[in-house]
Amino acid sequence: MIPLLFLFLWPCAAADTDAEKIQPRRETIVVTGSFEPVPLEEADRSVDRLDVEGHPLLLRNIAEVLRLIPSVDLRERAPGGVQADVSIRGGTFGQTLVLLDGLRMNDIQSAHHNMDVPVPLESVAAVEVLRGSGSALYGSDAVGGVVNIVTRKPKAGEVRLRAGLGNFGMNAQSISIAAVKGRIAQHLAASRDFSSGFLPNRDYRSLSLASRSYLESAWGSSTVLLVHGDRPFGAQNFYGNFPSWERTKTWFAALRQDFGARTEASFAFRRHTDLFVLYRGRPQVFTNRHTVESYQGALRRREEAGRNTQIHFGAEVLGDTITSNNLGHHQRARGAAYAALDVRAVRRFSFSLAAREEIYGPLRSQFSPTAAAGAWLSQRIKLRASASRAFRLPSYTDLYYHDPANLGSPDLRPETAWSYDAGADWNAGGKLSGEVTVFHRRETDGIDYVRSTPAELWRATNIQRLNFTGAEVAVIAGLGGSQRLDFRYTGLRGAQKALAGLESRYVFQYPVHAGVVLWESSLPGGLVGRVRLGAIQRYASDPYAVLDVSVARTLGRVRPFLQFANLADAGYEEIRGVPMPGRAVMGGVAVILFGGGK
């Protein structure tokens, strides 16, 4: 182990390695935060694209990918992405919209399930993050930002196997099978991740299955996506001082069809079940069974209005139904229409205006406008700014839930917010790049659970006038072509006077300071390595830092890997009262049976 770590930490030049290189930022295309895919450097909004497909053996799950952005606050209750709350720029976890290939995955039962995305890591090409509101593009929930998980399209046939073992009884296996013939491509992936738990009643078993089919025809591209996930886990202290147990299952099916180069139609169906037992082994005391079914359909069109101008417009329909012994039976249908004007002269300037009207009931609607602009001062410096309005409809848990510790409120109003940001991006010839961004968000009718004394129930309440102001800094340095040093920092300050004398359950757990230092390198012999040091200080809490190290081989048919999580064995909690594990290690091997290797 020690020689391997020493080799990984030793600075190496790129001259004699055949491993894959870190791609320059200017070659990256993003699909999140704009109506049309654009190069990352041309984006008017604060957008990150985090590569997964390049070096998947350095990662265990999607949660580890999101930890590379300090503006993204990932609060896990257990490792492996078993149950995680994700928020952006200080928003609550309900104010982050999670997408799968641009399709909504948020759960109307509870935002605790928003990261319950049943996609094996082998199916993921990248994760894109929009920092800032996105309701004009995506509708409800996109108040703090958007996380879009982008699946990969295979370029050639392959059969890959992966297996690993670690402490805390961890074992994981996965398989990826791809076939490509002419205009047809098919990808199948499956993974499972088990652990006996680092504490009693903190065990978990996760299963994910995914199928993606592609067809190029005279009409255009056709894509069919089918995914399924099953996650039973011990939930000790997850929702209070109870020895709970929970099992969630997800089914998701989506069809996307292009009609020529300018028109696209999509439809998706999602079914999610949640079995919650307050006292594990004693379901008769308190058990909840929830079943959610939702659908979404969209028709989008793009028109050229000039050499550098495009007009985008479209309509969407959305529907949700829940059946629950606790929440009751409810349903909600929504319809939306949008239009956008995009003016873009590459490496000169860009400007966009968009507006969305979403109707969610008789005489009830939300209007979400946005404006963004960018201007290149030179070939290396770009300025950008945006302003937008966003909203979130209450979840059914917010409205109707009740248990021995929590009580919803059926009279809750939708959350609304105005967001503003401005920043500068620079690129010093590809060797050094970075950004500085300042942002401000003004929320009205924010939803949180509050109480005045520890003896009272947590009650869902609308909070008035919650404001957040922050700054983001990033510096990325390419060292010798084979190494990259990435430094990012986010500082955040929230202000709220209406909660005097009340204790907040979620809003005031935001990170005041968050920083990430990432070092990636291609090493001799086809090795790649990554070191991540993340430090965070939440509001009214002590700071902590977590060090993760991973190394893997990227050449040959047999590719070993070694992953260390929390290498310094820090003791910390991302959610109050729920300790996270100490030092964890997993080692394993990936075998390329067909394709994809030398």
Instruction: Give bridge partners of residue 280 from the DSSP assignment.
Output: none
The Cα 540–Cα 303 span in angstroms is 51
- Residues spanned by the domain of 11: 2-594
Q: What is the DSSP string of 235-265?
A: EETTTSSSEEEEEEEEEEEEEEEEETTTEEE
Q: What is the DSSP letter of 77?
A: S
Tens-digit pLDDT profile for the chain (598 aa)? 333 333 333 333 333 333 334 344 445 788 898 988 999 889 999 999 999 988 889 998 898 999 999 999 999 888 877 888 999 999 988 999 999 999 999 999 998 899 999 999 999 999 999 999 999 999 999 999 999 999 999 889 999 999 999 999 999 999 999 999 999 999 999 999 999 999 999 999 999 999 999 999 988 999 999 999 999 999 999 888 899 999 999 999 999 999 999 999 999 999 999 999 999 999 999 999 999 999 999 999 999 998 899 999 999 999 999 999 999 999 999 999 999 999 999 889 999 999 999 999 888 999 999 999 999 999 999 999 999 999 999 999 999 998 888 899 999 999 999 999 999 999 987 689 999 999 999 999 999 888 988 888 899 999 888 899 999 999 999 887 688 999 999 999 988 765 667 788 777 789 999 999 999 998 888 899 999 999 999 998 999 999 999 999 999 999 999 999 999 999 999 988 899 999 999 999 999 999 865 4
The Cα 151–Cα 178 span in angstroms is 13
Q: Which amino acid is at 363?
A: L
CB 591 within 8 A of CB 161: yes
How many domains does the chain fold into?
1
**Tokens read off for 499:** 């909660």
CB 190 within 8 A of CB 206: no
The per-residue pLDDT for 9 is 35
User: Which of 355, 356, 391 is CA-nearest to residue 144?
Assistant: 391
SS3 6: helix
37: exposed, middle or buried (Cβ count in 10 Å: 0-12, 13-18, 19+): exposed
Q: Which amino acid is at 140?
A: S
The Cα 356–Cα 399 span in angstroms is 25
The per-residue pLDDT for 498 is 56
Return all residues near 3 (Cβ < 8 A) that are at least 6 apart: none
**Tokens read off for 474:** 């990033």
**Tokens read off for 582:** 């100490």
* CATH number of the domain bearing residue 543: 2.40.170.20
Predicted TM-score (pTM) of this structure: 0.93
Distance of CA 594 to the CA centre of its chain: 31
The per-residue pLDDT for 481 is 63
The per-residue pLDDT for 571 is 94
